[in-house]
Structure formats: structure tokens, C-alpha cells
């Protein structure tokens, strides 16, 4: 029975359980809902959840675990002489699966009876041709051990599916019986259902947390792997970034960090004043009509995909800068890809971050502060400079740090706007590159995944992660400290 059918049956049992459970509860209260402990619907939900949760939980776990277990069992049957390493074994196993799937398909299309499929032998039939007739193309003739492994695979899969169907159905029906028999007018169905909902919420929260932990762990393991192959002192203190896939690479992080840092500084130098002044205008001076129009317009900037900003850098800002600073003019700039191009465009991208967060923070400064200052004969501008801004400053610093961590993590604008040369230079008109851009280029080649040239991407990612995490924690700490100030 296919898994989809099984799912439908379990759902049907749950729906039926809902109505039967509710009906039984009503019956036990002689049809008067006021005698029930909970509203009638809760008894129905209790029955439905008792059917669904264990049955579907087991089904999902089974569907994930079965292929792994069968794979292990079958690969044991393949003779050790047939393959040299795990890569070759994986290739053989994918052949095994193709043959097994092909046989299933042949049976489904009626080209072969199930018995004939089990009795197949490489000596009597050309399996490659037989399977080609049903549309499954194999790369080579089928070896006897592949066929036997495929037969094993089919047999175990069949057993597994049957067992899963039986167990899931048994759980569904058992759950139904358990909940149905428990249902009477004094049963506290509401409390049980609410516990079930709580469990669901906890489950959802733990998925998010577990994923984060998983990502960090995969970074950590691969980073450790990298440092086994490459000395950490040279990684952290090396002044040259020159990966060569033939070996003998120099993988110093400092040029990349310098690029990241330089571009981020230029971006912040653009975004912070513009964003902050925009926020001050919008929150303190703009009329409600202007504000209602301008604030969403500014926030549209935040919705533009960064690749579009990248194109903007590549096609508009870069060439425009070249006409001003290029070889025909001052001669400072060689090509349109430069630190200043990427920095300017990234700064534009960050404006809405800074302005939107600062605007909220400025608005949260109590009106009483402004009144107090205006009441002493200060002008609006003096009030903003001397009372509102100092009160909002910690929050604004938090906003700027959040923008900085965005700038550090930005990739597309750098790839398109800043070039790919890892370089240590003070000249903003030169091409440079950043940590994120190099992570992309190290992993998108066809390098061996176990080589230091590929693994270095994880070490770069880990370093970047630690830095942005540190910035974010610092920003949140500052924002929280600010919040405590008035109450």
C-alpha cells in the first residue's frame, strides 16, 4: 500500500474518531453539553489527536529510517572485491536501486510477472535490455551481485512497507479505541487537548533550535577538519590568499577580512548619516501625510533582492564612477569593479535598515522629554540634538550594529560590484573581495570536498558567523540596556 493511501486512511480514522468521540461524550451526558467537563468539540479533538499523533509520528520516522537500514543491510551483501572505496560503493548502490526500481516498474507495466521478476538471473536474461524496454536506462550490464542485491533490496523493501502499514494502522485504530473508551462526561478532554497543543508548539520551537545547532555543528566539524589539513596560524595570520587546486595553496584570511571590513565601513559611512537623518526628518519634522508616503517608500528599498543591487552596482554605479575617476578622467580607477562601487551600493541597501530602526527608537523616546525641553525654551533642533538623540543613542547604536552585521554577511553586491581579487590595499578604487564572496567561489568549483581548498570555506564561514553573532549579541545587549532606562 503506498504511503499516501496509508496517510489518507489514518486521516479518515481521525475524522471519524472526531465525530464518534464527540457523540460518545454527548451520549454520556444524556445529550446535555452542560453536564460535560469540556465543550463537546474537545472530546472529538482528543480522539482525533490520539489517532493522528502516534500513527503519523511512527510513519514519518519509519519512512526516514527504512531506506537507511535497508541500504546498510544490502551493501553488506556486495562483495568487498567489487569496490575500492566508499565512493565506488555508493555508485554500485545506486545501480542496485535503479535495477530494483526498474524491476518494480516492469511489474507495474505488466512486462513481467512478479514471480518472473524474482526468478530472474543474469545468465538467462539480458536485464539491461529488458529494463530498457520499460524505459529504465542502465549504464552497463548488470553484474550478478548487483542483481542479487537488487532482489534483496526489493524483498526487504516489501517487508518494510508491509510492516509499516500494519503497525501504523494498528496504532491508529488502537489510539482510536483508547481515546474512545476513555471518553465520558467527567474526562478532562480540554486539558488533554491543550497539553497536546503545547507539545506541538514545543516541537515547532525545537525544530528551529535544532536546525541552528545542526548548522553550527556542521560548520564546527568541517572547520576542525580544515585545521587538521592546514595550520591555523597561517589561516588567521596569513597575508596572502592564493588558493590553487593543485595543492600548495596559501589561505590567509587577512586580505579577505580587510576587504569585508573596508567595504562595510564605506557602506556604513553612506548608510548611517543618510539613514539617521532620514529617520530624524520622518519622526520629528514630517507631517503625517508625508510620513505615511515616505516611510513605506523607504522601506521598499529593504525589499529589493540583493542581486538587483548587485546589477545596479555592476551596470550603473560602477560605470558612473569610472566616468568620474576612470582612466579618461582622474585616472584613479582602473575598472568599474572596486571597493567604492560595492560600498556605495551596499550603503544604499542598508539605508532602510538604519532609518526604519532608528525611526522606531526615536519615536519611543517619551513625548514628555520633548515637552520638557521645549518648555524650557529650546528649539526643535536643540531638543532633537540634546535630548532626543542622547536618549535614543543606545538604540541607534544597536541599529547600526545590526546594519553592520548585514553588511559583513552581504555577498551578491560584492561578487558583482567589488571584483574577485583578494588584495590588501588602502585604495578604495581597487578591486577587492570579501569573506562571503570567497566562500562562494571556493565551493562552486569542482574541487574535491575533502581538500583544504574547499574546506577553507567552512572555516571562513565559521569565523564570519562568530563575528556577526558577536555583533548581534552586542547590539541586542545595547538595545536592552536602553529599554530599561525609562521605567
Distance CA 115, CA 285 (A): 84
Spatial CB neighbours of 455, under 8 Å, sequence gap ≥ 6: 222, 223, 225, 226, 229, 230, 449
Applying CB under 8 A, does 375 fall inside the site for another protein?
A: yes
> By C-beta, is 86 or 287 nearer to another protein?
287
Distance in Å, CB of 376 to another protein, minimum: 4
Applying CB under 8 A, does 478 fall inside the site for another protein?
A: no
Whether 271 and 353 have beta carbons less than 8 Å apart is answered as yes
What are φ and ψ of residue 340, in 5° steps? -65, -35
SS3 at position 248: coil
> By C-beta, is 89 or 286 nearer to another protein?
286
Distance CA 338, CA 314 (A): 10
User: Which window, 148-156, 185-193, 301-309, 362-370, contacts another protein (CB under 8 A)?
Assistant: 362-370
Distance in Å, CB of 367 to another protein, minimum: 9
> By C-beta, is 57 or 366 nearer to another protein?
366
Q: Considering CB under 8 A, how many residues would be counted as binding another protein?
A: 22
What are φ and ψ of residue 231, in 5° steps? -65, 135
For another protein, the binding residue among 158, 327, 331, 390 (CB under 8 A) is: 390
User: Which window, 26-34, 226-234, 364-372, 440-448, contacts another protein (CB under 8 A)?
Assistant: 364-372
Rounded CA Rg of the chain: 33
What does the per-residue mask of binding to another protein show for 260-289, with x meaning CB under 8 A?
A: ---------------------------xx-
What does the per-residue mask of binding to another protein show for 155-194, with x meaning CB under 8 A?
A: ----------------------------------------
> By C-beta, is 232 or 486 nearer to another protein?
486
User: Which window, 6-14, 226-234, 363-371, 408-416, contacts another protein (CB under 8 A)?
Assistant: 363-371
SS3 at position 284: helix
SS3 at position 251: strand
SS3 at position 255: helix
For another protein, the binding residue among 14, 346, 387, 431 (CB under 8 A) is: 387
Distance in Å, CB of 370 to another protein, minimum: 8
For another protein, the binding residue among 372, 445, 466, 480 (CB under 8 A) is: 372
User: Which window, 330-338, 373-381, 450-458, 463-471, contacts another protein (CB under 8 A)?
Assistant: 373-381
89-98: long-range pairs with CB below 8 Å, 24+: 92/146, 92/149, 95/138, 95/139, 95/142, 95/146, 96/146, 96/149, 96/150, 96/153, 97/150, 97/153, 98/136, 98/138
User: Which window, 57-65, 137-145, 265-273, 371-379, contacts another protein (CB under 8 A)?
Assistant: 371-379
Applying CB under 8 A, does 366 fall inside the site for another protein?
A: yes
Distance CA 251, CA 259 (A): 15
Applying CB under 8 A, does 376 fall inside the site for another protein?
A: yes
For another protein, the binding residue among 69, 379, 448, 477 (CB under 8 A) is: 379
> By C-beta, is 390 or 470 nearer to another protein?
390
Applying CB under 8 A, does 97 fall inside the site for another protein?
A: no
Applying CB under 8 A, does 7 fall inside the site for another protein?
A: no
For another protein, the binding residue among 98, 370, 406, 438 (CB under 8 A) is: 370
Applying CB under 8 A, does 212 fall inside the site for another protein?
A: no
Distance CA 18, CA 183 (A): 11
* Consecutive H or E run containing 30: none
CA angle (477, 482, 485) in 5-degree steps: 135
Output the DSSP codes for 99-147.
Answer: HHHHHHHHHHHTSS-HHHHHT--TTT--HHHHHHHTT---SSPPPHHHH
For another protein, the binding residue among 77, 82, 199, 368 (CB under 8 A) is: 368
Applying CB under 8 A, does 98 fall inside the site for another protein?
A: no
For another protein, the binding residue among 369, 424, 440, 447 (CB under 8 A) is: 369
Distance CA 132, CA 239 (A): 57
Q: What torsion, rounded to 10 degrees, do the Cα atoms 250, 252, 258, 264 define?
A: 100
Q: How far is CA 344 from CA 312, 337, 416, 427, in A?
A: 11, 12, 13, 15
Q: Which of 253, 272, 482, 288 is nearest to 390 (CA)?
A: 482
Q: Which of residues 284-313 bind another protein (CB under 8 A)?
A: 287-288
The residues that touch another protein, with contacts defined as CB under 8 A, are 287-288, 366, 368-379, 382, 386-387, 390-391, 485-486
Amino acid at each position: 500500500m503506498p504511503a499516501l493511501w496509508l496517510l489518507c486512511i489514518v486521516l479518515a480514522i481521525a475524522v471519524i474518531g472526531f465525530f464518534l468521540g464527540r457523540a460518545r461524550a454527548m451520549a454520556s451526558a444524556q445529550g446535555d453539553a452542560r453536564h460535560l467537563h469540556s465543550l463537546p468539540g474537545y472530546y472529538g479533538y482528543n480522539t482525533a489527536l490520539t489517532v493522528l499523533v502516534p500513527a503519523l509520528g511512527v510513519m514519518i520516522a519509519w519512512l526516514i529510517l527504512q531506506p537507511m537500514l535497508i541500504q546498510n543491510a544490502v551493501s553488506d551483501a556486495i562483495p568487498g572485491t567489487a569496490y575500492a572505496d566508499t565512493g565506488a560503493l555508493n555508485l554500485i548502490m545506486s545501480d542496485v536501486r535503479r535495477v530494483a526500481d526498474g524491476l518494480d516498474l516492469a511489474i507495474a507495466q505488466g512486462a513481467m510477472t512478479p514471480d518472473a521478476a524474482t526468478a530472474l538471473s543474469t545468465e538467462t536474461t539480458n536485464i539491461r535490455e529488458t529494463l530498457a524496454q520499460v524505459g529504465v536506462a542502465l549504464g552497463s550490464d548488470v553484474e550478478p551481485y548487483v542483481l542479487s542485491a537488487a532482489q534483496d533490496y526489493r524483498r526487504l523493501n516489501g517487508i518494510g512497507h508491509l510492516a509499516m502499514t500494519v503497525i501504523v494502522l494498528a496504532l491508529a485504530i488502537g489510539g482510536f479505541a483508547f481515546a474512545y473508551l476513555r471518553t465520558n462526561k467527567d474526562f478532562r478532554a480540554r486539558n488533554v487537548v491543550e497539553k497536546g497543543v503545547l507539545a506541538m508548539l514545543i516541537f515547532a520551537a525545537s525544530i528551529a533550535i535544532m536546525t541552528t545547532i545542526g548548522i553550527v555543528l556542521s560548520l564546527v566539524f568541517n572547520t576542525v577538519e580544515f585545521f587538521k589539513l592546514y595550520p591555523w596560524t597561517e589561516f588567521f595570520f596569513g597575508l596572502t590568499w592564493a588558493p590553487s587546486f593543485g595543492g600548495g595553496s596559501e589561505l590567509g584570511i587577512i586580505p579577505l577580512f580587510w576587504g569585508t571590513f573596508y567595504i562595510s565601513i564605506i557602506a556604513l559611512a553612506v548608510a548611517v548619516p543618510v539613514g539617521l537623518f532620514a529617520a530624524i526628518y520622518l519622526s520629528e519634522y514630517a507631517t503625517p501625510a508625508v510620513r505615511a508616503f515616505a516611510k513605506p517608500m523607504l522601506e521598499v528599498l529593504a525589499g529589493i533582492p540583493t542581486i538587483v543591487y548587485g546589477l545596479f552596482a555592476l551596470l550603473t554605479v560602477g560605470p558612473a564612477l569610472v566616468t568620474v575617476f576612470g582612466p579618461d578622467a582622474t585616472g584613479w580607477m582602473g575598472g568599474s569593479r572596486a571597493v567604492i562601487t560595492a560600498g556605495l551600493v551596499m550603503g544604499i541597501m542598508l539605508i532602510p535598515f538604519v532609518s526604519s530602526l532608528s525611526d522606531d527608537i526615536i519615536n519611543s523616546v517619551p513625548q514628555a522629554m520633548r515637552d520638557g525641553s521645549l518648555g524650557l525654551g529650546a528649539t526643535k533642533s536643540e531638543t532633537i540634538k540634546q535630548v532626543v538623540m542622547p536618549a535614543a543613542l543606545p538604540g541607534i547604536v544597536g541599529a547600526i550594529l545590526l546594519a553592520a552585521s548585514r553588511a559583513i554577511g552581504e555577498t551578491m553586491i560584492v561578487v558583482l560590484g567589488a571584483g574577485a581579487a583578494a588584495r590588501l590595499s588602502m585604495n578604495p578604487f581597487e578591486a577587492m573581495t570579501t569573506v562571503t564572496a570567497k566562500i562562494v567561489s571556493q565551493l562552486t568549483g569542482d574541487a574535491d570536498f575533502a581538500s583544504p581548498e574547499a574546506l577553507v570555506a567552512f572555516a571562513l564561514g565559521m569565523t564570519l558567523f562568530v563575528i556577526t553573532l558577536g555583533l548581534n549579541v552586542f547590539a541586542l545587549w545595547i538595545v536592552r540596556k536602553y529599554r530599561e532606562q525609562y521605567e
